[in-house]
Structure 1
Amino acid sequence: MISIADVNAMSPRAFIEAFGDVAEHSPWVAREADASRPFASREALVRHFETAIRAANRDARLALLRAHPDLATRAKLTDDSTKEQAGAGLNTLTAEEFARFTDLNTRYKQRFGFPFIFAVKGATKHMILDSFTARVGNDAEVEFETALQQVCRIFRFRIEDRVSP
């Protein structure tokens, strides 16, 4: 883990290298957050990542959502996503559970135009499936906001894993 002092001492390039992946395949979030340095604390760093997302236009936020992988997919994932999904048991699904995730992923993407996003750290596959089932029926605007909240939870967990309090 690195200290907030070390984060603040990084060059912009080093900052992007260290944090450009916390918002899935969207280093622009780290570039925007970098402009707010120095950070008073790890919590301030997290808040500036969220501010970067909230300040972005809708197209950029939609692209961020679309950059996330389907849950329980067999596709190649980032190292962080692989670890997080394995921690939730998504790498050990039964054939029936995998079929259910596949069906929900398809229905969700058809309805909303982006993948289902859930910060899986600390969750079980059953909790994720329950949320998936409930959220696939949401209003489009409610779900867009819910997905952004989940993205913020994901990068919070990732930053907390890298930066000491």
Structure 2
Amino acid sequence: MLAELHNWNSKTKALLLASSLSGGAGAILNEITEVDRHDFDSLVTSLKNRFGSVNRAEVFRAELQTRVRFNNESLPDLAQAIKKLTRRAYPGTSPLVRDTLALDSFIDAIIETEVRLRVREVGPKSINEAENIAVRLEALRVADIRKVEMFALSILKPFKSLI
């Protein structure tokens, strides 16, 4: 946006980008020719080849297919991770296709069978909608478990003195 605002040419954009690189990204400058260092498109292509997800899409697709909810991972955190993985696994696809893939992957990643099946049964249209449904279902499930536990404790209370 700054380049557009200031009407920078390719060489100016390349020099400013190159001067802002550090670490592994900065090391790229030692691996490309001086001509490429002064050409914005060549510099961006080198950075994409090294760090971009296009060349690693297969790895991200495999990770997405096997992704499940971690212990103590919240459903919003899971949804965010799925969205990120989907963007990386399918970088060239349309947002509509990516959203559909993210939705299916999110539902599949929910390990609690009852919640997963109920979310699928409701038929959400987006991952955000699925996340909201799953959060509500999980809250209801947890509340129900606590209610059963409290009921069980109230039944056992009279027998506590016998133990």
Could you state the TM-score of these two structures normalised by the residue count of structure 2? 0.29
The answer to which structure has the higher helix fraction is: 2
Could you state the TM-score of these two structures normalised by the residue count of structure 1? 0.29
Of structures 1 and 2, the one scoring higher in RCO (CA 8 A, sep 6+) is 1
